[in-house]
């Protein structure tokens, strides 16, 4: 049993459950994936499996081509590792992972890179309240105090300020698998997942 699968976000839609209620879902083109490397405690110090998402043939550099040649993984562009636990030790290089590894009503964690928002201010980036909007106020969406003058006479690291927003790894936990299309390798997950349409994601079995 695979601990997870790699895929690409297709987009959001909605489905109706047996009670007639509308359920928002995100479609993920999950797989086909291939095991490109099996890491063991004796050789690597930890137990994990490296999966590669098969998309199209691309020209790889010599180190990458030599690495993929060991598992006959042609056309792999996106690779990620999944930690292994008891019962998942039967995977070996060259094994294929498909969407039918997951079943409806199963809980999964989805890991992706959030959308980039560029340079953003405090109110948008950190949800600061801001100041009064009228009555002669000159403090609307600006930052407050970032440190006293006499002590500590400096700005502490990690101070919430304006800056680049997004383009960070985000994990959404315990999402329910609504349906699995084994023929087209598409998984419908309840709710939203990080990243833009067409972005790469990791779908792993829920840890909590």
* Percent above pLDDT 70 for the chain: 89
Each residue's pLDDT tens digit, 5-18: 999 999 999 999 88
Residue 50 in contact with residue 39, Cβ under 8 Å? yes
pLDDT score, position 48:
87
The CATH T-level fold of domain 4-116+170-205 is: Elongation Factor Tu (Ef-tu); domain 3 (2.40.30)
Confidence at 118, pLDDT banded by 50, 70, 90: very high
Each residue's pLDDT tens digit, 17-30: 888 899 999 999 98
Is 31 a residue whose pLDDT tops 90?
A: no
Residue 9 in contact with residue 26, Cβ under 8 Å? yes
Is 87 a residue whose pLDDT tops 60?
A: no
SS3 content of the chain, % helix, strand, coil (to 5): 10, 40, 50
Query: For all residues of the chain together, what is the average pLDDT?
Result: 86
pLDDT score, position 10:
94
Q: Which two tokens stand for residue 78?
A: 């996106």
Is 149 a residue whose pLDDT tops 60?
A: yes
Confidence at 144, pLDDT banded by 50, 70, 90: confident
pLDDT score, position 26:
94
Backbone angles phi, psi at 35, to 5 degrees: -75, 115
Is 171 a residue whose pLDDT tops 70?
A: yes
Is 155 a residue whose pLDDT tops 80?
A: yes
pLDDT score, position 4:
87
Where does the chain hold its CATH 2.40.30.10 domain(s)? Answer: 4-116+170-205
The CA distance from 63 to 86, in Å, is 31
Is 88 a residue whose pLDDT tops 90?
A: no
Specify the 3-state DSSP secondary structure of 133: coil
Is 100 a residue whose pLDDT tops 90?
A: no
User: Is the entire prediction scored with pTM above 0.85?
Assistant: no
pLDDT score, position 69:
65
Confidence at 89, pLDDT banded by 50, 70, 90: low
Is 74 a residue whose pLDDT tops 70?
A: no
């Amino acid at each position: 049993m695979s601990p997870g699968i790699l895929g690409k976000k297709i987009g959001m839609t909605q489905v109706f459950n047996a009670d007639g209620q509308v359920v928002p879902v995100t479609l993920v083109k999950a797989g086909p994936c291939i095991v490109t490397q099996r890491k063991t405690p004796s050789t690597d110090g930890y137990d994990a499996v490296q999966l590669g998402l098969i998309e199209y043939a691309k020209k790889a550099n010599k180190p990458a081509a030599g690495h993929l040649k060991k598992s006959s993984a042609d056309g792999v562009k996106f690779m990620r590792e999944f930690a292994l636990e008891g019962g998942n030790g039967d995977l070996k290089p060259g094994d294929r992972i498909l969407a039918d590894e997951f079943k409806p009503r199963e809980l999964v964690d989805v890991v992706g890179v959030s959308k980039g928002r560029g340079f953003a201010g405090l109110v948008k980036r950190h949800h600061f309240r801001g100041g009064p909007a009228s009555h002669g106020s000159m403090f609307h969406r600006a930052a407050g105090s970032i440190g006293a003058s006499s002590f500590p006479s400096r700005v502490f690291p990690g101070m919430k300020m304006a800056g680049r927003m997004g383009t960070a790894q985000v994990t959404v936990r315990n999402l329910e698998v609504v349906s699995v299309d084994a023929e087209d390798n598409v998984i419908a997950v309840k709710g939203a997942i990080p990243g833009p349409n067409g972005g790469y994601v990791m779908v792993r079995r829920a840890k909590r």
